[in-house]
A = this chain, B = another copy of it.
């Protein structure tokens, strides 16, 4: 079975072997070494000198942690969104009482940087209108699109705002220099580029985010970064961690660092190009603007003639390939091929071959 959804991603044998290791005391030295080692390696891939914490949760838990650790109810927050996960980030902030200004762009369309700047400038000029933080999505998994985060950051930082980034499906696959791009919190999840099962969210915290944290009044306990920092100093997590996933991640981080960041980014770029060329040669078009097409997930317009659920079923049942459909308003309209983490050229070529064979069986009517 070839799993090609945009997460969970296939785990290499080393990761699966590590998952099967027996439990240890999470308050003992052995776990402390694993936690410290994992954290240090993550910092290299996050490209940050700031803090990085591992939370036992899915990526959405990491997004919630980013919000509640830096904001207070009533804070004005600018949400820049062009997909389902951008909307989720805004929903979380709103749920915790932030006043969310939603700058929504059409799903699959580029963020208009001038529009972002306009909103920030306008609010800076209003008395008490000040925006505290900006929420941005690096890779929008729902639309197969990578936002130009460096450019977004340049605008946000002109106004010296806190920048909270959902990089769940990009970090470790697509270049995201956390410190160089002045990202204050970056969130990712273990089941994406990291090649291990779901269950850990990883978050980086900048100095500016710590300053916001000191003022932030949203209620928090499980997600609290202060507790995470205190415990990390003694080689522990505040709450019992998902030990098995730490075992696995400590192993795949070695694989990643051995491959080298530039090589990882190049591999994802090359494979994504094969995916894009492949679907186009089968007569499909890409869902997102092509300049923004993601290197981790390819979202494809299904055309009127293709029954997406049927296509997914035929691929799974007859070709042992698992891909994803569209989410929410894109259900039935697009299909998505994940190519992140443990993936090689031949993997995606075999997906394209299977797709070619499955298509005649997935015609509508």
Q: Which residues of A pack against B, CB within 8 Å? A: 1, 3, 5, 7-11, 16-17, 19-28, 56-61, 64, 91-92, 95-97, 189, 191, 197-199, 218-222, 238-245, 316, 322, 324
A-B contact pairs, 24 of them (CB 8 A): A5-B27, A8-B26, A9-B23, A23-B191, A23-B197, A25-B322, A56-B56, A56-B61, A56-B198, A57-B61, A60-B222, A60-B238, A60-B240, A64-B222, A96-B219, A97-B219, A191-B243, A197-B242, A198-B243, A199-B199, A199-B242, A199-B244, A199-B245, A244-B245
Q: A23-B9, A26-B8, A28-B322 are in contact. Are A95 and B220 (CB under 8 A)?
A: yes
Point out the residue from B8, B57, B198, B240 that lies within 8 Å of A222, measured CB to CB. B57
- Point out the residues of chain B lying under 8 angstroms from A23, CB to CB: 3, 8-11, 191, 197
Q: Label chain A's interface by main secondary structure.
A: loop
Distance, CA A152 to CA B28, complexed state (A) = 35
Say yes or no: B17 contacts A324, CB within 8 Å. no
Which of B20, B96, B245 contacts A20, CB < 8 Å?
B20
Residue of B nearest to A241 (CB): B198
Among B3, B20, B61, the residue within 8 A (CB) of A239 is: B61
Other-chain contact of A241, B58, B95, B218, B241 (Cβ < 8 Å): B58
From residue A15, how far is it (CB to closest CB) to chain B in Å?
A: 9
A-B residue pairs, 5 tightest by C-beta:
A199-B242, A20-B20, A8-B23, A58-B239, A60-B239
Q: What number of copies of this chain does the assembly contain?
A: 2
Which one of A22, A27, A92 has the greatest number of beta carbons of chain B within 10 Å? A22
Q: Other than the known A57-B57, A198-B243, what 18 A-B pairs have Cβ atoms closer than 8 Å?
A: A3-B22, A3-B25, A7-B240, A8-B23, A24-B322, A56-B58, A58-B240, A58-B241, A59-B239, A64-B221, A96-B221, A97-B219, A191-B240, A197-B242, A197-B243, A218-B219, A242-B245, A244-B245
Task: Tell me which residues across on chain B come within 8 A of A5, comparing CB atoms.
Answer: 25, 27
Pick the contact of A17 from B3, B20, B97, B218 — CB < 8 Å? B20
Report the minimal beta-carbon distance from A231 to chain B, rounded to whole angstroms.
12
Q: Is the CB of B91 within 8 A of A221?
A: yes
A21, A60, A61, most chain B CB atoms within 10 A: A61
